[in-house]
Structure 1
Amino acid sequence: MFDSGKYPATCGVYLMKGSQGEVFYVGKAKNLRNRLRSYFSEQGDNRPQIRFLLKRVRDIETIVTDTEKEALILENTLIKKHRPRYNINLRDDKTYLSLRLDPREEFPMLQLVRRVKRDGALYFGPYASSTAVRATLKEIYRIFPLRRHPWETCRNRSRPCLYYQIGQCSGPCHGRISPAEYRRLVQGAVALLSGRETEVLETLRRQMGAAAQRMAFEEAARLRDQVRAIEQTVERQKVVDAGGGDQDVVGLHREGGEVEIAILFVREGKVIGRRSYSLEWRLDEDELLSSFLQRFYGREVCIPDRVLLPFVPEDAAVLADWLSEQRGRRVQVLAPLRGSRRELVALAERNAAESFRERGSRREARQEVLREIAARLHLSRFPRRIECFDISNVQGRFSVGSMVVLTDGEPDKAAYRHFRIRSVTGSDDYASLREVLKRRLQRGLREEMLPDFILMDGGKGQLGVLDAVLRELNLEARIDAAGIAKSRVLANVRGKMVERSEERFFLPGRKNPVVLRQGSPALFMLERLRDEAHRFAITHHRKLRRRSSLGSVLEDVPGIGEKRRKALLRHFGSLKALRAASLDELRALPGLPAALAERLHAALHQQKPS
């Protein structure tokens, strides 16, 4: 029985835990006692997800904080640490691309980055897709030809790169432009990226007129082309009248127990991108919106001057303080009631509704494909969660397993997992697969998170391993299984014509494989899942090999410990680059004594590159 009296009536964070100590949910509250009492009141919480959560909760831990902002920061930290199942999870939880330019460099360049740091550099964006940012860069380089490669790479060349030849680099590395002239290019690029096109156009037109008076007609023609390029770029951009500045505008659409949230990125009065998220409606609107903003801005992303919302959450002031601290400048969190800003929020809400409609159409199409898979492979249940496993090794070394997941027909990358093989020595894929499957399913039993359908990358042998593990854990009635065998190469009787057979699906207890129609959506979905499992395993396997290659060289050097190995890798980026470093470069590294630099240089050049 819940006793609210034992919990403090102050602000802080609470963690709901299961019988094994696993954290199911992390939340914050201005008054912990009142918040927890609301969960266990006589009326109860009407949300089905919360009712299911409360049945599993065996303990509630509270952490008291001095202020609400401290509670918000602690909540974010604990969610990142424990990844609770019932907190909001942004399915495509990735940071967006931004452009970085460091004006302190003599010849600054534009860099594509995913992390926005408080390092004194200028950041522009975010850009929701690589296509959008590359289109922007293409326009920038055509108008303002900044350098394209790292400075050392450029200086090591005997002549300027190809970009210089086609007029998309000014060649500062070979003295083809003075620092003052290059600085003017940088100023123009910054102004254009900041949305100050009018200022750039006026400057270029003045320079064009002055060049024409000096009879420098080639320079005047080049400036004229820059003016025309900017004018054409500006014409394609959507302009909104909402007070200018940088703003993120949040729209929310609810329907059928789901919530769609759309964010419009407005920079200097222009909409430069949109991002949408589909969430299960597990929280009150106020708590849901607040949690979403914390998850979204809890990463290293560009934080704007203002965040416009459809309504003001209870902790809006705390959110504004937290965002201001993250950014280093004041950030406003507003819910406009009228005027152009309210119209912009309405536009974001329409985008959220349209995104929900589009996602619903795609969802129906995926559901139909999953129904076809269930029918053709004789599954006993609808395959809402599908998992696929693969093993990767080279001659038994660095053996790893991979698990990739489809949830409702979409890749659920947050649920992907790697497995280091612990109990198998040598190249035994079946034994490795058995270990991976047992570890995965035993944990699934503990956490009550099992798949509906497991697809094995392989034929009867791999399927036999899975079938044996399911029987051992008494799961054969709860999880469907199949194995996908790669197509075979067939020759005709004369041995000349070569054909490829269809992909074959083996089912437990069935001798003959099932063949899906070539080109069918069901076959395409399962093939992509199999290929993704293979890619995921191979990528991790190669990463382990690279780490081992670096470690095997450096571990034999006295004085090079784990911290120094990591520092060397961060500095040079790869073992190949470290081997290419000169003795003088190693001596110049901070924290690396000259004698140790000499031993390292000798060790690196005694061993042949792998």
Structure 2
Amino acid sequence: MTKAELYKKACMLPLLPGVYIIRDKSGTIIYIGKAKRLRIRVSQYFREGVPHDNKVSQMIAHAYAFDVIVCQSEFEALVLEASQIKAHTPKYNILLKDDKGYSYIKVTRDEWPRLSFTLQKEDDGAEYIGPYTSSFAARQMAETAMDAFLLPRCSRRFPQEIGRGRPCLNAHIGKCMAVCSGRISRENYEQAVKSAVHLIRYGKKDILKTLNERMLEASDRLEFETAALIRDQIAAITKVTAGQKVVVDPDVEMDVVALAGTPGSVCAAVLRFREGRLTDKREFLFHDTADIAAVREEFLPRYYLDDEQIPKVIAVDELPPDVDALQQALNEKRGSEVQLYVPQRGDKAHLVEMAHTNAVERLARESGRYAREEKLLDELAQVLGLPKPPRTIESYDISNWGDGTSVCGMVTFRDGKPYKAGYRKFKMKTVAGTDDYASLAETVSRRAAEYEKYSEMAANGEPSSNYFGQKPDLLLMDGGRGQVSAAKAALAGTALADVPLYGMVKDDHHRTRAIVDSEGREIAINMNRGTFTFVTAIQDETHRFANAYRKQQMKQKSYSSTLTEVPGVGPKTAKALMAQFKSVSAVKEATPDQLENTPGVGRQMAQTIYEYFHPQG
């Protein structure tokens, strides 16, 4: 349907509340909204001459049809809209994603468990508490629990390093129980970790009561060291929690929400207060829109009616137009009355100002960051004569060592920043000896082959998220004419042959001097400070990454050669041992039974290895 036809259809809608569903030409739902009066709201999208921001204009341009669901009330429409958006996640509805990802608190299952904050959940058998949507809250809880129960933060391994060396500074200033001293029993340590986990999961109220009971019991049993340890833990919990400033009534659960905007983006900041203290801060960015009122109207129900816990009080900078329906929905979901209001004066009004300041600061940071990176990429495109700024840049460097072995490091910059998911390591398969040109040719040939493989899979309906399935906008080689010429010849006839290719030339002091194009011509960049600094950063990062990989390989080779000194252990067995235990020291500490679990190592070989490292055993 044309825009005029859609407008004509919209003018026939009733003046009743409801939900409207807009679809594109393929029938895919691209936007879901609610309206107090369907005819007025929907017709505004398709009436000629009505101004819209960039995001809404894009949605209208792709709109081909729409449906409506008439509801009995605005409240019913709001609840239905929230459920439909959650079910379909339309492209042009706001996505409630902050930039933090999920965070966890990790508790290992070692003999002496360790507690830590982490951003990744791994399949390593550890217990993971979470996920938390805020790294701020997760990190604060982990730090509080470790402070309260005096848990170690160091890298020492227990029980291997118990009794070795002096306790660290944390023990001397009362922030660690000093497991390394040998004075802490494993039972007391495990109980401290369990109590820390309980504090994280349930808060301080129950744990203080439990600890007081355990302290009295230990004292009655004349276990004075245990009682003293628990006493210190109680004191630490009290001190840590008292050190957090109370900013609102301790009995009130409260969220503070404020929005701010620029000509191209809107940011919503949410401050969460629990037990009178700030426990979390979240920021949500919405690009391609400047309509703060429209974002607010959609954000509040989406945020609270999805899966978010609803507090007793929600203080906002401005109420949405559908406040009565939203109020009713919040009350029903919480099961009790929620106070949704705009504070006019006092401490809570100041907190709303604080949330607004956070939103403004975030927009300022984003605006400055994007502006700097856009400028850098534009300048680089002009210097190199590229038709458009290179969003994805790949850089390659060969690193050699004395025995003629070579490796290559590949780093990726996306939108002007290092993109670690695009980093790759290459070990030469076909090149014998030290030959930078041949090694670079092998590397880029393998890169092109990987791209072609994943492109074919995507064409056959099997798309992959592997980075190698993406085509870069610019290829940079660490080196001059020779390196560029070798890479160009290797890429000829491949799917990457049309990607602009340049070399990064260094001077006698190993500093970036110029860029060499695929025809061997030098382009001076020292007059363009931004480009010079950016290319130098890319070259330095590539060199660092390639060298780190070379050193890693050398270290593994060195470790393997140490193991080959054991009678009967050849390179293959040494490699298997390193794969199993990760380090020579771990092999030395392993028991015969543990060594026997290594592929290719039988009982007799395991005993030989053990006796070699334990001659007095």
- TM-score normalised by L of structure 2: 0.55
Contact 2:249 2:275 survives alignment (8 Å): no
Residues 254, 141 of structure 1: CA spacing in aligned structure 2 closer, same or farther, 3 A cutoff?
A: closer
Contact 1:505 1:515 survives alignment (8 Å): yes
| Matched residue, 2:399 | none
* Cα distance between partner residues in 2 of 1:305 and 1:204: 31
Contact 1:13 1:62 survives alignment (8 Å): yes
1:454 pairs, out of 473, 483, 496, with 473
Q: Does 1:433 align with 2:439?
A: no
| Matched residue, 2:520 | 511
**Alpha-carbon distance, 1:455 to partner:** 2.3
2:520 counterpart SS class: coil
**Alpha-carbon distance, 1:348 to partner:** 0.6
Matches within 5 A, 1:545-564: none
| Matched residue, 1:334 | 340
1:353 counterpart SS class: helix
* Cα distance between partner residues in 2 of 1:405 and 1:296: 33
2:84 counterpart SS class: helix
Contact 2:515 2:522 survives alignment (8 Å): yes
| Matched residue, 2:380 | 373
* Cα distance between partner residues in 2 of 1:235 and 1:292: 34
Matches within 5 A, 1:289-300: 289-293=296-300, 296=303
* Cα distance between partner residues in 2 of 1:46 and 1:337: 31
Q: Does 1:356 align with 2:380?
A: no
Residues 486, 187 of structure 1: CA spacing in aligned structure 2 closer, same or farther, 3 A cutoff?
A: same
Residues 359, 367 of structure 1: CA spacing in aligned structure 2 closer, same or farther, 3 A cutoff?
A: same
**Alpha-carbon distance, 1:349 to partner:** 0.9
2:392 pairs, out of 370, 379, 387, with 387
Residues 283, 432 of structure 1: CA spacing in aligned structure 2 closer, same or farther, 3 A cutoff?
A: same
Identical aligned residues as a percent: 21
Contact 1:123 1:302 survives alignment (8 Å): no
**Alpha-carbon distance, 1:431 to partner:** 5.6
Q: Does 1:34 align with 2:25?
A: no
Contact 1:252 1:349 survives alignment (8 Å): yes
**Alpha-carbon distance, 1:249 to partner:** 1.9
Residues 526, 515 of structure 1: CA spacing in aligned structure 2 closer, same or farther, 3 A cutoff?
A: farther
* Cα distance between partner residues in 2 of 1:282 and 1:128: 25
**Alpha-carbon distance, 1:351 to partner:** 1.8
| Matched residue, 1:137 | 142
**Alpha-carbon distance, 1:240 to partner:** 0.8
1:289-347: CA deviations, max 9, x gaps? Answer: 23334565687666544443212223445556666787x75583623323433322121
| Matched residue, 1:477 | none
Residues 167, 62 of structure 1: CA spacing in aligned structure 2 closer, same or farther, 3 A cutoff?
A: farther
| Matched residue, 2:179 | 166
**Alpha-carbon distance, 1:270 to partner:** 0.9
* Cα distance between partner residues in 2 of 1:142 and 1:386: 44
**Alpha-carbon distance, 1:74 to partner:** 0.5
* Cα distance between partner residues in 2 of 1:360 and 1:110: 34
Residues 247, 167 of structure 1: CA spacing in aligned structure 2 closer, same or farther, 3 A cutoff?
A: farther
1:75-99: CA deviations, max 9, x gaps? Answer: 22222xx5x1x43346745544366
| Matched residue, 2:425 | none
Q: Does 1:71 align with 2:81?
A: yes
**Alpha-carbon distance, 1:27 to partner:** 3.0
Residues 233, 143 of structure 1: CA spacing in aligned structure 2 closer, same or farther, 3 A cutoff?
A: closer
Contact 1:96 1:129 survives alignment (8 Å): yes
Larger Cα Rg: Structure 1 or Structure 2?
Answer: 2
Aligned-residue CA RMSD (Å): 6.1
Structure 2 gap ranges (5+)? 108-112, 122-126, 165-175, 397-409, 423-444, 462-469, 478-486, 547-579, 581-596, 601-617
**Alpha-carbon distance, 1:186 to partner:** 6.5
1:314 counterpart SS class: coil
Q: How many residues align?
A: 463
Contact 1:99 1:123 survives alignment (8 Å): yes
**Alpha-carbon distance, 1:263 to partner:** 2.1
* Cα distance between partner residues in 1 of 2:241 and 2:61: 57
| Matched residue, 2:435 | none
Matches within 5 A, 1:478-493: 482-483=500-501
**Alpha-carbon distance, 1:123 to partner:** 8.0
Residues 457, 177 of structure 1: CA spacing in aligned structure 2 closer, same or farther, 3 A cutoff?
A: closer
**Alpha-carbon distance, 1:269 to partner:** 1.3
1:194-236: CA deviations, max 9, x gaps? Answer: 6x5xx87788679768977987543453244224423542354
* Cα distance between partner residues in 1 of 2:23 and 2:212: 64
| Matched residue, 1:592 | none
Contact 1:430 1:465 survives alignment (8 Å): no
1:61-116: CA deviations, max 9, x gaps? Answer: 4456673212221022222xx5x1x4334674554436699xxxxx9x9997999x
Structure 1 gap ranges (5+)? 102-106, 116-120, 149-153, 392-401, 416-426, 444-450, 471-480, 493-498, 535-575, 577-604
Q: Does 1:287 align with 2:285?
A: no
- Paired AA for residue 136 in structure 1: M
1:313 counterpart SS class: coil
| Matched residue, 2:270 | 263
1:540-576: CA deviations, max 9, x gaps? Answer: xxxxxxxxxxxxxxxxxxxxxxxxxxxxxxxxxxxx9
1:371-400: CA deviations, max 9, x gaps? Answer: 44234323345x3x7135799xxxxxxxxx
2:320 counterpart SS class: coil
Matches within 5 A, 1:11-90: 11-17=18-24, 19-21=25-27, 24-62=30-68, 67-68=76-77, 69-79=79-89, 82=90, 84=91, 86-89=92-95
* Cα distance between partner residues in 1 of 2:182 and 2:51: 62
| Matched residue, 2:256 | 249
* Cα distance between partner residues in 1 of 2:286 and 2:17: 30
Residues 16, 94 of structure 1: CA spacing in aligned structure 2 closer, same or farther, 3 A cutoff?
A: farther
Residues 331, 404 of structure 1: CA spacing in aligned structure 2 closer, same or farther, 3 A cutoff?
A: farther
Matches within 5 A, 1:192-341: 193=203, 217-234=224-241, 236-242=243-249, 244-280=251-287, 282=289, 284-293=291-300, 296=303, 304-316=311-323, 319=326, 332=338, 334-338=340-344, 339-341=346-348
Contact 1:246 1:267 survives alignment (8 Å): yes
Contact 1:248 1:265 survives alignment (8 Å): yes
* Cα distance between partner residues in 2 of 1:299 and 1:413: 32
Contact 2:448 2:494 survives alignment (8 Å): no
* Cα distance between partner residues in 2 of 1:296 and 1:414: 30
* Cα distance between partner residues in 1 of 2:456 and 2:524: 29
Contact 2:105 2:117 survives alignment (8 Å): yes
Contact 1:456 1:462 survives alignment (8 Å): no
Residues 464, 7 of structure 1: CA spacing in aligned structure 2 closer, same or farther, 3 A cutoff?
A: farther
Contact 1:13 1:26 survives alignment (8 Å): yes
